[in-house]
Amino acid sequence: MRGETVVRAPSRSDFDQWLSLWEGYNAFYRREGPSALPSAVTRMTWERFFDAYEPVQALVAECEGRLLGLAHFIFHRSTTMVGPSCYLQDLFTDEGARGRGIGRALIEAVYDRARRAGAARVYWQTHESNETAMKLYDRVAERSGFVVYSKNI
């Protein structure tokens, strides 16, 4: 499978292939089994991509009719700039397609969407153990030095 990879917005007919990638992404972060996301969250996430009033957006990478990667991103306001910021929340490439530039293509497409939306910054986080992805991230962005804290409430 070495055809041209196209990055585009998802269509409703992509659900099954997107779901497979989404499940792979969640498994990577060990959100499966008892800690899995409820199906209602997955369904709502999918529906948000098609709601013009939602800030959550998505892109998929497709080659020869097969989805190989996904990116989910959110535009939001900031207290440090006038224009919006873009948070790249989820990025995943099918394991069998890694090393082909799909992750980079998805990031670059998010950068393009952010520019068109007037955002001055795209940012994301990853787990410290995700060393393979961090090799790419170190080439396409700068580490901010910030440490992320969170608490489920």
- Of all residues in the chain, the percent with pLDDT exceeding 70 is 96
Q: What is the pLDDT of residues 109-153, one digit of tens each?
A: 999 999 999 999 999 998 888 888 888 888 899 888 887 787 778
CATH number of 100's domain = 3.40.630.30
Q: How many domains does the chain contain in total? A: 1
35 pLDDT tier (thresholds 50, 70, 90): low
Does residue 38 belong to any structural domain of this protein? yes
Beta bridge partners of residue 88, listed in sequence order: 73
Q: What is the mean pLDDT of the chain?
A: 91
Does residue 48 belong to any structural domain of this protein? yes
Contact 77, 118 (CB under 8 A): no
Full-model pTM: 0.90
Does residue 33 belong to any structural domain of this protein? yes
Contact 103, 69 (CB under 8 A): yes
- Closest to 82 measured CA to CA, from 117, 31, 41: 117
